[in-house]
Amino acid sequence: MKNKVQAGAQADGRAAGETDSMRAAVREVYGPADVIHESRRARPRIKADEVLIRVGAAGLDRGTWHMMTGKPYAMRAATGLRRPRNQVLGLDVAGTVAAVGAAVTLFREGDEVFGFGQGSFAEYTVAKERKLAPMPAGLSFAQAAVVPVSGATALQALRDAGRIQAGQNVLITGAGGGVGSYAVQLAKAFGATVTGVCSTAKMELVRSLGADHVVDYTREDFADGGPKYDLILDFAGSPTLSRLRRALVPTGTAVIGGSEQGGNFTGLGRQLRALAVSPFVPQRFLMLIAAERGPDLEQLSGFIADGHLTPCLERSYPLALVAQAMRHLESGSVRGKVAITL
Protein backbone atom coordinates (compact mmCIF):
# COMPACT_ATOMS: atom_id res chain seq x y z
CA MET A 1 0.00 0.00 0.00
CA LYS A 2 2.81 2.42 0.89
CA ASN A 3 4.43 1.89 -2.52
CA LYS A 4 1.13 2.63 -4.28
CA VAL A 5 0.68 5.88 -2.37
CA GLN A 6 4.22 6.97 -3.21
CA ALA A 7 3.77 6.11 -6.90
CA GLY A 8 0.52 8.08 -7.07
CA ALA A 9 2.11 11.11 -5.47
CA GLN A 10 5.11 11.01 -7.79
CA ALA A 11 2.89 10.69 -10.88
CA ASP A 12 1.25 13.94 -9.80
CA GLY A 13 4.59 15.69 -9.57
CA ARG A 14 5.04 15.27 -5.81
CA ALA A 15 7.87 13.59 -4.03
CA ALA A 16 6.89 11.09 -1.36
CA GLY A 17 5.77 12.96 1.76
CA GLU A 18 5.47 16.32 -0.03
CA THR A 19 2.33 18.36 0.69
CA ASP A 20 -0.37 18.94 -1.92
CA SER A 21 -0.40 22.75 -1.57
CA MET A 22 1.71 25.50 -3.08
CA ARG A 23 2.45 29.20 -2.79
CA ALA A 24 0.68 31.39 -5.34
CA ALA A 25 -0.07 35.04 -6.13
CA VAL A 26 -3.86 35.32 -6.25
CA ARG A 27 -6.76 37.73 -6.37
CA GLU A 28 -10.24 36.69 -5.31
CA VAL A 29 -11.86 39.76 -6.90
CA TYR A 30 -11.15 41.93 -9.92
CA GLY A 31 -9.44 45.22 -9.22
CA PRO A 32 -6.16 47.15 -9.03
CA ALA A 33 -2.81 45.72 -7.95
CA ASP A 34 -3.83 46.02 -4.31
CA VAL A 35 -6.11 42.97 -4.71
CA ILE A 36 -3.09 40.70 -5.30
CA HIS A 37 -1.69 38.78 -2.35
CA GLU A 38 0.28 35.62 -1.70
CA SER A 39 -1.68 32.61 -0.50
CA ARG A 40 -1.59 28.84 -0.47
CA ARG A 41 -3.59 26.92 -3.02
CA ALA A 42 -4.03 23.28 -3.95
CA ARG A 43 -1.50 22.07 -6.48
CA PRO A 44 -3.20 21.80 -9.92
CA ARG A 45 -4.12 18.40 -11.36
CA ILE A 46 -3.33 17.55 -14.96
CA LYS A 47 -5.48 16.09 -17.73
CA ALA A 48 -4.29 13.60 -20.33
CA ASP A 49 -2.95 16.29 -22.71
CA GLU A 50 -1.44 18.51 -20.03
CA VAL A 51 1.92 19.01 -18.37
CA LEU A 52 2.56 19.93 -14.73
CA ILE A 53 5.41 22.44 -14.49
CA ARG A 54 7.51 23.32 -11.47
CA VAL A 55 7.75 27.06 -12.14
CA GLY A 56 11.19 28.61 -12.36
CA ALA A 57 9.90 32.01 -13.45
CA ALA A 58 6.82 33.64 -14.95
CA GLY A 59 6.55 36.68 -17.21
CA LEU A 60 4.40 39.71 -16.51
CA ASP A 61 2.45 41.00 -19.49
CA ARG A 62 -0.53 43.13 -20.43
CA GLY A 63 -2.81 40.10 -20.61
CA THR A 64 -2.17 39.44 -16.92
CA TRP A 65 -3.17 43.03 -16.18
CA HIS A 66 -6.47 42.41 -17.98
CA MET A 67 -7.01 39.23 -15.98
CA MET A 68 -6.35 41.16 -12.75
CA THR A 69 -8.74 44.01 -13.52
CA GLY A 70 -11.38 42.07 -15.45
CA LYS A 71 -11.27 44.69 -18.21
CA PRO A 72 -12.59 44.94 -20.83
CA TYR A 73 -15.75 43.70 -19.16
CA ALA A 74 -16.66 41.51 -22.14
CA MET A 75 -13.83 39.14 -21.21
CA ARG A 76 -15.62 38.23 -17.97
CA ALA A 77 -17.99 36.00 -19.93
CA ALA A 78 -15.02 33.63 -20.17
CA THR A 79 -13.12 34.43 -16.97
CA GLY A 80 -15.99 34.87 -14.48
CA LEU A 81 -18.70 37.52 -14.38
CA ARG A 82 -18.36 38.79 -10.81
CA ARG A 83 -15.27 37.00 -9.58
CA PRO A 84 -12.41 35.32 -11.45
CA ARG A 85 -12.84 31.57 -11.84
CA ASN A 86 -9.09 30.98 -11.79
CA GLN A 87 -7.76 33.02 -8.88
CA VAL A 88 -4.06 32.42 -9.65
CA LEU A 89 -2.55 35.00 -12.01
CA GLY A 90 0.08 34.50 -14.70
CA LEU A 91 0.35 33.36 -18.34
CA ASP A 92 4.03 33.19 -19.37
CA VAL A 93 6.02 30.37 -17.77
CA ALA A 94 9.41 28.69 -17.81
CA GLY A 95 10.25 25.76 -15.60
CA THR A 96 10.82 22.04 -15.21
CA VAL A 97 8.34 19.30 -16.09
CA ALA A 98 7.13 17.69 -12.87
CA ALA A 99 4.59 15.29 -14.40
CA VAL A 100 2.90 14.57 -17.73
CA GLY A 101 -0.57 13.42 -18.70
CA ALA A 102 -1.19 10.00 -20.23
CA ALA A 103 -1.47 11.38 -23.79
CA VAL A 104 1.63 13.62 -23.65
CA THR A 105 4.43 12.44 -25.98
CA LEU A 106 6.68 15.48 -26.49
CA PHE A 107 7.90 15.98 -22.92
CA ARG A 108 8.90 13.95 -19.91
CA GLU A 109 9.66 14.62 -16.28
CA GLY A 110 12.78 16.73 -15.82
CA ASP A 111 12.59 18.55 -19.18
CA GLU A 112 13.01 22.32 -19.09
CA VAL A 113 10.19 24.00 -21.00
CA PHE A 114 8.64 27.40 -21.64
CA GLY A 115 5.28 28.51 -22.94
CA PHE A 116 1.76 29.45 -21.95
CA GLY A 117 0.54 28.35 -18.53
CA GLN A 118 -2.72 28.56 -16.61
CA GLY A 119 -1.89 30.57 -13.50
CA SER A 120 1.91 30.70 -13.56
CA PHE A 121 2.45 33.03 -10.57
CA ALA A 122 2.75 29.95 -8.38
CA GLU A 123 5.15 27.16 -7.50
CA TYR A 124 3.37 24.87 -9.98
CA THR A 125 1.24 25.48 -13.05
CA VAL A 126 -0.46 23.41 -15.76
CA ALA A 127 -0.04 23.89 -19.51
CA LYS A 128 -1.37 22.13 -22.59
CA GLU A 129 1.33 20.10 -24.35
CA ARG A 130 0.69 21.99 -27.60
CA LYS A 131 1.40 25.33 -25.85
CA LEU A 132 4.92 24.43 -24.73
CA ALA A 133 8.36 24.07 -26.28
CA PRO A 134 11.82 23.08 -25.02
CA MET A 135 13.45 26.00 -23.25
CA PRO A 136 16.01 27.82 -25.42
CA ALA A 137 19.59 26.87 -24.59
CA GLY A 138 21.61 29.47 -22.72
CA LEU A 139 18.67 31.32 -21.17
CA SER A 140 17.82 31.56 -17.49
CA PHE A 141 14.28 30.70 -16.39
CA ALA A 142 13.59 34.44 -16.00
CA GLN A 143 14.79 35.23 -19.53
CA ALA A 144 12.80 32.37 -21.06
CA ALA A 145 9.68 33.26 -19.09
CA VAL A 146 9.36 36.71 -20.67
CA VAL A 147 9.36 35.36 -24.24
CA PRO A 148 6.08 33.48 -24.91
CA VAL A 149 3.23 36.03 -24.82
CA SER A 150 5.06 39.12 -26.07
CA GLY A 151 7.38 37.23 -28.43
CA ALA A 152 4.56 35.25 -30.05
CA THR A 153 2.42 38.37 -30.39
CA ALA A 154 5.23 40.21 -32.17
CA LEU A 155 5.95 37.22 -34.42
CA GLN A 156 2.33 36.76 -35.45
CA ALA A 157 1.84 40.49 -35.99
CA LEU A 158 4.80 40.65 -38.37
CA ARG A 159 4.70 37.26 -40.08
CA ASP A 160 0.99 36.42 -40.25
CA ALA A 161 -1.00 39.66 -40.07
CA GLY A 162 1.61 42.03 -41.49
CA ARG A 163 3.04 39.61 -44.09
CA ILE A 164 6.41 41.28 -43.63
CA GLN A 165 8.88 41.17 -46.53
CA ALA A 166 12.60 41.87 -46.67
CA GLY A 167 13.35 45.44 -47.67
CA GLN A 168 10.12 46.90 -46.31
CA ASN A 169 10.01 50.04 -44.20
CA VAL A 170 8.44 49.11 -40.85
CA LEU A 171 7.30 51.35 -37.99
CA ILE A 172 6.79 49.93 -34.49
CA THR A 173 5.09 51.95 -31.76
CA GLY A 174 5.85 51.07 -28.16
CA ALA A 175 9.24 49.83 -29.35
CA GLY A 176 10.72 49.82 -25.86
CA GLY A 177 7.91 47.80 -24.29
CA GLY A 178 7.04 44.12 -24.10
CA VAL A 179 5.77 43.35 -27.60
CA GLY A 180 7.75 46.19 -29.18
CA SER A 181 11.13 45.02 -27.92
CA TYR A 182 10.60 41.69 -29.69
CA ALA A 183 9.02 43.26 -32.79
CA VAL A 184 12.05 45.48 -33.42
CA GLN A 185 14.43 42.53 -33.32
CA LEU A 186 12.21 40.21 -35.35
CA ALA A 187 11.54 42.83 -38.03
CA LYS A 188 15.30 43.25 -38.43
CA ALA A 189 15.69 39.47 -38.63
CA PHE A 190 13.10 39.44 -41.45
CA GLY A 191 15.22 41.99 -43.35
CA ALA A 192 13.18 45.16 -42.81
CA THR A 193 14.32 48.73 -42.17
CA VAL A 194 12.91 49.47 -38.73
CA THR A 195 11.80 52.70 -37.08
CA GLY A 196 10.95 52.44 -33.39
CA VAL A 197 8.68 54.91 -31.59
CA CYS A 198 9.21 55.28 -27.85
CA SER A 199 9.70 57.72 -24.98
CA THR A 200 12.91 59.65 -24.41
CA ALA A 201 13.92 57.29 -21.59
CA LYS A 202 13.76 54.23 -23.86
CA MET A 203 15.54 55.56 -26.94
CA GLU A 204 18.93 54.03 -26.15
CA LEU A 205 17.31 50.66 -25.46
CA VAL A 206 15.49 50.71 -28.81
CA ARG A 207 18.70 51.58 -30.62
CA SER A 208 20.45 48.71 -28.86
CA LEU A 209 17.73 46.35 -30.11
CA GLY A 210 18.74 47.16 -33.68
CA ALA A 211 16.29 49.86 -34.79
CA ASP A 212 17.60 51.83 -37.77
CA HIS A 213 15.74 54.96 -36.67
CA VAL A 214 14.19 55.98 -33.35
CA VAL A 215 11.38 58.52 -32.92
CA ASP A 216 10.83 60.17 -29.53
CA TYR A 217 7.06 60.56 -29.42
CA THR A 218 7.35 63.36 -26.85
CA ARG A 219 9.13 65.52 -29.45
CA GLU A 220 8.11 64.20 -32.88
CA ASP A 221 5.01 62.92 -34.64
CA PHE A 222 5.78 59.93 -36.89
CA ALA A 223 2.81 60.89 -39.09
CA ASP A 224 3.84 64.51 -39.56
CA GLY A 225 5.24 64.54 -43.09
CA GLY A 226 8.03 62.06 -42.50
CA PRO A 227 8.77 58.76 -44.24
CA LYS A 228 5.96 56.46 -45.33
CA TYR A 229 5.83 52.90 -44.07
CA ASP A 230 4.85 49.62 -45.69
CA LEU A 231 3.89 48.14 -42.32
CA ILE A 232 3.01 49.67 -38.96
CA LEU A 233 2.72 47.66 -35.76
CA ASP A 234 0.72 49.81 -33.39
CA PHE A 235 0.73 48.49 -29.83
CA ALA A 236 1.11 51.77 -27.92
CA GLY A 237 0.03 55.38 -27.85
CA SER A 238 -3.42 55.10 -29.48
CA PRO A 239 -2.72 57.15 -32.64
CA THR A 240 -5.88 57.91 -34.58
CA LEU A 241 -6.65 55.95 -37.72
CA SER A 242 -6.16 59.10 -39.79
CA ARG A 243 -2.62 59.46 -38.43
CA LEU A 244 -1.86 55.84 -39.24
CA ARG A 245 -3.20 56.33 -42.76
CA ARG A 246 -0.99 59.40 -43.28
CA ALA A 247 2.08 57.41 -42.24
CA LEU A 248 1.35 54.41 -44.48
CA VAL A 249 2.15 53.99 -48.16
CA PRO A 250 -1.04 53.82 -50.27
CA THR A 251 -1.22 50.01 -50.03
CA GLY A 252 0.39 49.64 -46.60
CA THR A 253 -0.78 47.61 -43.63
CA ALA A 254 -1.37 48.59 -40.01
CA VAL A 255 -1.67 45.86 -37.36
CA ILE A 256 -3.40 47.27 -34.30
CA GLY A 257 -3.19 45.75 -30.85
CA GLY A 258 -4.37 46.94 -27.47
CA SER A 259 -2.40 50.07 -26.60
CA GLU A 260 -0.62 50.99 -23.41
CA GLN A 261 0.29 54.54 -22.55
CA GLY A 262 1.18 55.74 -19.08
CA GLY A 263 -0.28 52.63 -17.54
CA ASN A 264 -3.66 52.92 -19.28
CA PHE A 265 -4.47 49.82 -21.30
CA THR A 266 -7.10 50.45 -23.97
CA GLY A 267 -7.80 49.97 -27.63
CA LEU A 268 -10.71 47.60 -28.35
CA GLY A 269 -12.95 50.35 -29.74
CA ARG A 270 -10.16 51.66 -31.98
CA GLN A 271 -9.44 48.14 -33.23
CA LEU A 272 -13.09 47.63 -34.17
CA ARG A 273 -13.21 50.99 -35.95
CA ALA A 274 -10.12 50.01 -37.91
CA LEU A 275 -11.79 46.79 -39.05
CA ALA A 276 -14.86 48.75 -40.15
CA VAL A 277 -12.78 51.22 -42.17
CA SER A 278 -10.44 48.71 -43.79
CA PRO A 279 -12.76 47.41 -46.58
CA PHE A 280 -13.29 50.95 -47.88
CA VAL A 281 -9.67 52.11 -48.21
CA PRO A 282 -6.69 50.74 -50.16
CA GLN A 283 -4.68 50.29 -46.98
CA ARG A 284 -5.20 47.27 -44.73
CA PHE A 285 -6.14 47.65 -41.05
CA LEU A 286 -6.05 44.50 -38.97
CA MET A 287 -6.77 43.60 -35.35
CA LEU A 288 -4.49 40.97 -33.87
CA ILE A 289 -5.60 38.37 -31.34
CA ALA A 290 -2.50 36.30 -30.74
CA ALA A 291 -2.70 32.50 -30.56
CA GLU A 292 -0.83 30.30 -28.09
CA ARG A 293 1.10 27.77 -30.19
CA GLY A 294 4.12 25.61 -29.53
CA PRO A 295 5.51 25.90 -33.10
CA ASP A 296 5.73 29.68 -32.72
CA LEU A 297 7.77 29.18 -29.55
CA GLU A 298 10.08 26.86 -31.49
CA GLN A 299 10.55 29.51 -34.18
CA LEU A 300 11.33 32.11 -31.52
CA SER A 301 13.87 29.68 -30.05
CA GLY A 302 15.48 29.48 -33.48
CA PHE A 303 15.84 33.26 -33.64
CA ILE A 304 17.36 33.19 -30.14
CA ALA A 305 19.81 30.44 -31.10
CA ASP A 306 20.83 32.37 -34.23
CA GLY A 307 21.52 35.50 -32.20
CA HIS A 308 18.74 37.50 -33.86
CA LEU A 309 16.59 37.72 -30.73
CA THR A 310 17.48 38.43 -27.11
CA PRO A 311 14.85 38.65 -24.35
CA CYS A 312 14.86 42.17 -22.94
CA LEU A 313 14.54 41.48 -19.20
CA GLU A 314 14.62 44.67 -17.16
CA ARG A 315 14.35 43.08 -13.70
CA SER A 316 12.80 40.26 -11.68
CA TYR A 317 10.53 40.28 -8.64
CA PRO A 318 9.94 37.49 -6.10
CA LEU A 319 6.46 36.00 -5.78
CA ALA A 320 5.72 38.06 -2.68
CA LEU A 321 6.12 41.29 -4.70
CA VAL A 322 3.80 40.59 -7.64
CA ALA A 323 1.62 43.60 -6.73
CA GLN A 324 4.70 45.83 -6.83
CA ALA A 325 5.70 44.38 -10.19
CA MET A 326 2.20 45.08 -11.53
CA ARG A 327 2.39 48.71 -10.41
CA HIS A 328 5.70 49.01 -12.23
CA LEU A 329 4.04 47.65 -15.39
CA GLU A 330 1.16 50.09 -14.99
CA SER A 331 3.60 53.01 -14.75
CA GLY A 332 4.57 52.53 -18.39
CA SER A 333 8.27 52.78 -17.53
CA VAL A 334 9.23 49.11 -17.98
CA ARG A 335 12.04 48.73 -20.50
CA GLY A 336 11.19 45.47 -22.20
CA LYS A 337 9.81 42.94 -19.73
CA VAL A 338 9.81 41.99 -16.06
CA ALA A 339 9.64 38.50 -14.57
CA ILE A 340 8.39 36.85 -11.39
CA THR A 341 10.88 34.34 -10.00
CA LEU A 342 10.33 31.39 -7.69
Side-chain-side CA neighbours of residue 278 (13 Å): 16
Alpha-carbon 245 to chain mean position = 27
126-142 average pLDDT score: 98
**DSSP summary character for residue 136:** P
Confidence of residue 302 (pLDDT cuts 50, 70, 90): very high
User: What does pTM read for this prediction?
Assistant: 0.90
Distance between CA atoms of residues 77 and 281, nearest Å:
34
Angle formed at CA 46 by CA 141 and CA 133, multiple of 5 degrees: 35
**pLDDT above 60 for 11:** no
Q: What is the pLDDT of residue 72?
A: 85
Q: Is there a contact between 198 and 208 (Cβ–Cβ < 8 Å)? A: no
Q: What is the pLDDT of residue 226?
A: 86
Rounded to the nearest 10 degrees, the angle between the axes of helix 178-189 and helix 148-156 is 50
What rounded mean pLDDT belongs to the chain? 90
Give per-residue pLDDT as tens, 144-154: 999 999 999 99
**pLDDT above 80 for 19:** no
Distance between CA atoms of residues 225 and 57, nearest Å:
44
Give per-residue pLDDT as tens, 218-243: 999 999 888 999 999 998 867 888 89
**DSSP summary character for residue 320:** G
Q: Is there a contact between 91 and 14 (Cβ–Cβ < 8 Å)? A: no
305-331 average pLDDT score: 97
Q: CA dist 21 to 47, 176, 292, Å?
A: 18, 38, 28
Backbone dihedral angles phi then psi of residue 100, each to the nearest 5 degrees: -130, 150
Q: Where is pLDDT greater, at 112 or 3?
A: 112
Q: Which of 1-15, 171-185, 247-261 has the highest mean pLDDT?
A: 171-185
Of all helices (H) and strands (E), which one includes residue 275?
Answer: helix 268-277
252-258 average pLDDT score: 88
